[in-house]
Amino acid sequence: MAFTMFGRTIRKVGVIGSGNIGPDIALHFSQNLYGYDVPVVVVDILQAALEAGSKKVESKMAKAVEKKVLKKEEADRIFNNMIFTKDYGKLADADLVIEAAFERVEVKHKIFEECQRVCPKGAILASNSSHMVPEEIFEKMEDKTRCLVIHYFFPAERNILVELVPMKETDPSVLEYLMKFYELIGKAPIKVKSRYGYAVNPIFEGLFLAAALTVEEGLATVKQADVIVQKALGMGVGPFTAHNLSGGNPLTQHGLSEMHSKIMPWYRSPKILDEQVKSGKPWETPEKGETVEYSDELYEGISKRVMGAYFGMACEILESGITNIGDFEMAIDVGLVMDPPFQMMNRIGVGKALELVNSYAQENPGFKVAEILKKQALSGEPWKIPVVFREDRGEVAIVKIRRPKVLNALNHDVYEQLREIFTEIQKDPKIIGAVLTGFGTRAFVSGADIGMLAAQKTPEEAEANCLNGMSVLNLIENLGKPVVCAMNGLAFGGGNEMAMACTARIAKKGQKVFIAQPEPRLGIIPGNGGTQRLPRLIGIERAWPILRTANPISSAQAKEIGLIHEEVDGDLIEVAIDWVKKICSGELKIPPIPKGPIPIPPSLPEVDIGHLSRKIDSILQRAVLEGAKMTLEEGLRLEAKLFGECLLTEDMRIGMENFLKNGPKVNARFVHR
C-alpha cells in the first residue's frame, strides 16, 4: 500500500539521525501512516544511537498503552512499522526523507550527498535544522527544487508546530503539498522565509537570554527567574525548565552567538549559559510542587523587562517579513505554549507595549525597536490578528477558520473576520462561490468559545451577542453565491449552526462523533440558529432528540437524515470546489432551507434527557415549537431572546461553572431552576 493524496504518493518515509529528536519525528510519521502500510525507516551511523532511539519509541508506546491512549495491538503496529538501521540503502524507495542530525554544515552536506545518490529522483529531501538556512544546507545538491527545511519542535510527536522554510529554488508545488500533508497528519505548518533561526527560535532562545540576564545581573535567582517569566508570559514551563527538558543548552548557546551578527547585536550567549554548557549540568529549577518566594516588586521588575524583550523581538521578526502576524501568533501559541505576543500587546495597549520595549532597549545596547511597533502605537489601534483566512482557487474562494488550540472555536474575532471576508466575496465579481472549512482534521468548528459564553452578564447582552452571530450566518446563507461547507472534523454547537447556514454540507467520511448541539450540557440552548435551522432541514421529529439530549451523531447518521449531502473519502476541499461549480452551473440542485413556518407533527418522540436541566429543556422546547410557527427570521429572533432568558436560571450558572472547572466529561448537577 501507499499514502496517495494531493497529487503525490508516499511509499516510505526516511528519518536520518536517531538522536534527540529523530526517533520522535519518525514516531509521529508511523502513528499517522501505519494504517496505509507506509514504513518509516530511521538511519544512523551509530548502532548505539539506533538502539537508544528504538528503546525510546518502545517506551513511549508502552506509556500510551498504560494510559489507555492506544490499544496494545495499535501500539505494536506503530512500533513494528518502524525500522532502525545503519543501511542507507533502505531509503532507495523513500519518497520523503528528513535529516535530523548534528547542526554542523559538513555533516549535513555528507548526509544529503548520500541521499542524492540513494533516494529516488522525485523524493522530497528536508532538514530538521533548528537554525541553518536551507541555502547553506543544500548548497551542493544538484536538484534543489525538492529541498527545504522542515523544523519540528519538542516533543516532535506531540508538538503540532512545524516551520517549513524553502529557498528560492524550492518548487512551490512541493511547499504547497507539504502544507496540506502536514495539516492532514495533525500538524500546524507555517511557511517561513529563509533567515537564520527562522521565526520561532529567536523567541525561544531570546526569552531564555532575557531571563538569564536577570540572573547574571543579580536581580533574581534561576528559580525565581524561571517561575516569574513563566507566570508573566503564560508559559507551560519556565525558560530554564524548558532547556532542561529539551537538552537545549548547547543549541541555544550556538544559536544566540550566531543571532548576534545575523539578527541584532543584543543576541549573545550569556556567561552563565557558557558555564552551564561547559559543566554539562542541568539548571537548578524548581522541583514539582516547590514554592519559590519572590516579592511583588521583583515580579513587577522582572516581568516588565521580559515583556519588553518579548514584544521587541516579536516586532523585529514581523518587520523582517519572514512570516505574517497570523502564522506567528499561532506558532507561538501552539509551538512554545505561551501567550502570543501581539494578543498580549492588544490586552495591555500597544502604546504601553512600546514603552516597555523602549525601556528595555535603553537598558540593553544593541536591542532593536521595530518601526512597525512605533507606527502601530501612533495609530492608537490594536494589532489585527487574522484567525480566518481566504485563499482563492480560480473562481472559488476557500475560507478557513484556524484556531487549532481550541479546535477552531468561535469567538468575536472569528465572527467579525467572517463577516468581512464574506462581504468581500459577495462583492467580488471574479468569485462564483465559496468553500467554508476549518483547520486540521479534528474539528470543523468545536462550538462557541466557552470564555465568550461565560463572560455574558445580562439577558440583553446575551441576546445581542446571539443576534450579532446570527447576522454573520444570515450573510452566508443569503450571499447570493453558493457556499459549500467542507466539514473536515466534528461540528458541535455553533459549528453545526454555521454549517447549516451554508448552501450544502459535505464531510470527511467515517466520523463516529461528528455533529451535536451540546448546549443543554452547559445549561443553555443553541443561540445561533440551532433550534430553527435544524428542524427546517431534517424535520422536527428528527431534530427533537438531537436538540434535547445533546448527544452526538456520526457522519453516516448525518447523511442518512439529510443533514449533510455527502461523505467524502478523498480530498475534501477539491470535492467542495467541484460542488460549488456544479451548483453554479445547475448540474447540482440543492433545495433552499424553508424560510416560512414548518408543520409540527401531532406527536413527537419521547426523549429521556437524563441529568440535563428540565428548566433549560422547557425553554428549548418553546424555541423549537413556537419558532416552527414563525418565519425563519422571526424564529431566529425568538431563539436569541430565549437564549438570553437562560441567564436568569440557576442552571446556566451551574452548567458554565462545571464546564470551566471540570471540562465536558463531568455532568453538571442541575437544580432545574
Is pLDDT above 90 for 43? yes
- 497 is an active site residue: yes
Last residue in a domain, options 359, 379, 399 = 379
Instruction: Count Cα atoms within 13 angstroms, Cβ side, for 93.
Output: 6
Is pLDDT above 80 for 634? yes
- SS3 call for 459: helix
In degrees, rounded to 5, the angle at the alpha carbon of residue 263 between the alpha carbons of residues 260 and 268 is: 20
Give the DSSP letter of residue 592.
P
Q: Is 610 left (phi over 0), alpha (psi -120 to 50) or beta?
A: left
Instruction: Count Cα atoms within 13 angstroms, Cβ side, for 366.
Output: 10
Helix (H) or strand (E) segment spanning residue 315: helix 296-320
My answer on whether 261 and 309 are in the same domain is yes
If 0-12 CB within 10 Å is exposed, 13-18 middle and 19+ buried, where does residue 175 land? middle
* Contact call for residues 530 and 496 (beta carbons, < 8 A): yes
My answer on whether 595 and 628 are in the same domain is yes
My answer on whether 433 and 374 are in the same domain is no
> How confident is the model at residue 184, as a pLDDT?
96
Task: Please give the Cα distance from 51 to 29 (Å, whole number).
Answer: 19
In single-letter form, the type of residue at position 556 comes to A
Strand partners, 191: 164
My answer on whether 399 and 457 are in the same domain is yes
My answer on whether 236 and 294 are in the same domain is yes
Kindly report the pTM of this predicted structure.
0.95
My answer on whether 543 and 637 are in the same domain is yes
Give the DSSP letter of residue 410.
B
Task: Please give the Cα distance from 646 to 648 (Å, whole number).
Answer: 5
Contacts of 576 (CB under 8 A, 6+ apart): 435, 437, 484, 485, 486, 506
Is pLDDT above 80 for 79? yes
Burial letters 322-346, b for 16+ CB under 10 A, else e? bbebbbbbbbbbbbbbbbbbbbbbb
Smallest CA-to-CA distance from 497 within 460, 441, 545, 536 is with 536
If 0-12 CB within 10 Å is exposed, 13-18 middle and 19+ buried, where does residue 579 land? buried
- 103 is an active site residue: no
Average pLDDT over residues 136-145: 97
Q: Which of 316, 497, 639, 645 is catalytic?
A: 497
Looking at the domain assignment, is residue 667 inside a domain? no
Smallest CA-to-CA distance from 99 within 196, 26, 15 is with 15
Looking at the domain assignment, is residue 91 inside a domain? yes
Average pLDDT over residues 234-241: 96
Smallest CA-to-CA distance from 319 within 370, 356, 251 is with 370
Looking at the domain assignment, is residue 670 inside a domain? no
Tell me the pLDDT band of 450, cut-offs 50, 70 and 90. Answer: confident
- Residue 24 has a CB neighbour count (10 Å cut-off) of 21
Is pLDDT above 90 for 248? no
What CATH number should be reported for the domain holding residue 525? 3.90.226.10
Is pLDDT above 80 for 1? no
Q: What is the pLDDT of residues 185-209, one digit of tens each?
A: 999 999 999 999 999 999 999 999 9
Find the farthest-apart pair of alpha carbons in the chain and give their distance in angstroms, rounded: 82
Instruction: Count Cα atoms within 13 angstroms, Cβ side, for 134.
Output: 26
Looking at the domain assignment, is residue 71 inside a domain? yes
- Domain count for the chain, please give it: 3
Domain region containing 638: 388-662
Q: What is the pLDDT of residues 496-505, one digit of tens each?
A: 999 999 999 9
Is pLDDT above 80 for 320? yes
In single-letter form, the type of residue at position 575 comes to V
Chain centre to alpha carbon of residue 348 = 24
Is pLDDT above 80 for 401? yes
Instruction: Give percent of the chain with pLDDT exceeding 70.
Output: 100
* Contact call for residues 260 and 242 (beta carbons, < 8 A): no
> How confident is the model at residue 454, as a pLDDT?
85
Q: Which of 519, 567, 639, 645 is catalytic?
A: 519
Looking at the domain assignment, is residue 669 inside a domain? no
